[in-house]
Amino acid sequence: REICIDEEVKIAVRIAVEKFRYNESQKEYEFPSSLTSVERAFIHRYCQSLGIKTKSRG
């Protein structure tokens, strides 16, 4: 099922995740708590599609 969020948010998430993936010294990345639940769902699904483990807090 498609998760509908703004294209700008999708692009920003993809850039952040790519930078994280290629920075070998960084073991964790924390997205801002201001993201909506739908935006967070997109992040989880996108990361899982790349084989990146995700974790929610709070």
Mean pLDDT score, 6-27: 95
The burial of 21, by beta-carbon neighbours within 10 Å (0-12 exposed, 13-18 middle, 19 or more buried), is given as middle
Q: What is the pLDDT of residue 1?
A: 78
CA nearest to 3, candidates 37, 53, 51: 37
Summarised one tens digit per residue, pLDDT across range 21-39 is: 999 999 999 999 999 999 9
Query: What is the distance between the alpha carbons of residues 17 and 43, in angstroms, rounded to a whole number?
Result: 9
How many CB atoms within 10 Å of residue 13? Answer: 19
Q: What was the pLDDT predicted at 46?
A: 96
Q: Domain-by-domain residue ranges, the chain? A: 7-49
Instruction: Quote the pTM value.
Output: 0.87
pLDDT score, position 2: 82
